[in-house]
Amino acid sequence: MKLRIGQGFDAHPLEAGRKLMLGGVEIPHDRGLRGHSDADVAAHALANAILGALGEGDLGRHFSDRDPQYKDANSLELLRGVWTLASARGFRLVNADLTIIAQRPRLAEFLDQIRTNLAAAIDSERELINVKASSPEGLGATGRSEGIIALAAVLLDAG
């Protein structure tokens, strides 16, 4: 077995006039995440975890926020690009665990679809990916609903 572990993190502020995309799901909310792409923190954190396991830096190294071709990009497509790199090296997903941290909106009803979308983006079985949401209980900027954070961990195998 050739096991590789990676961790990923992403955070974006919320702002009016943007769609809120998480794991490729448009979440009804009065604000969306600000970023160069669609700012989907769930897809970004998972992509960063995969890149970490590969020793390939982070998402910005592969899809620069200075590159106009990625303006408003669908983050599931960026995640697919990262997975193409991993699978070309012979890696398969053993499992992934993702936590989305948000005070509002409440995300429980969207987690199954987020899980399905992320699994499809990396050509994986849905059961290998866990997605959960957590509230910061009013603490810090995220607790004041100023933004949303996502954390991910992956285990890859090329054995």
Please give the Cα distance from 76 to 55 (Å, whole number): 21
pLDDT confidence of 90, banded at 50, 70, 90?
Answer: very high
CA 40 to CA 32: how far, in whole Å? Answer: 9
Q: In angstroms, rounded to a whole number, what is the distance separating the alpha carbons of residues 3 and 8?
A: 17
Domains and CATH numbers, the chain: 3-157 (3.30.1330.50)
Using 50, 70 and 90 to split pLDDT, how confident is the model at 73?
confident
According to DSSP, residue 36 is labeled S
- C-alpha 159/C-alpha 74 separation (Å) is 31
Q: In the predicted model, is pLDDT for residue 64 greater than 80?
A: no
Q: What pLDDT does residue 66 have?
A: 81
Q: What predicted TM-score, i.e. pTM, was given to this entire model?
A: 0.96
pLDDT at 71 over 90: no
As a whole number of angstroms, the distance between CA 113 and CA 157 comes to 25
Query: pLDDT digit string (tens) for 15-62?
Result: 999 999 999 999 999 999 999 999 999 999 999 999 999 999 999 898
DSSP letter, residue 55: T
Helix residue ranges per DSSP H, the chain: 41-54, 59-62, 75-88, 111-121, 140-143
Show the DSSP H helices in 32-74 as ranges. 41-54, 59-62
Mean pLDDT value of segment 97-126 = 98
Length of the chain: 159
Average pLDDT of the chain, as a whole number = 95
**Distance, CA of 140 to CA of 143 (rounded, Å):** 5
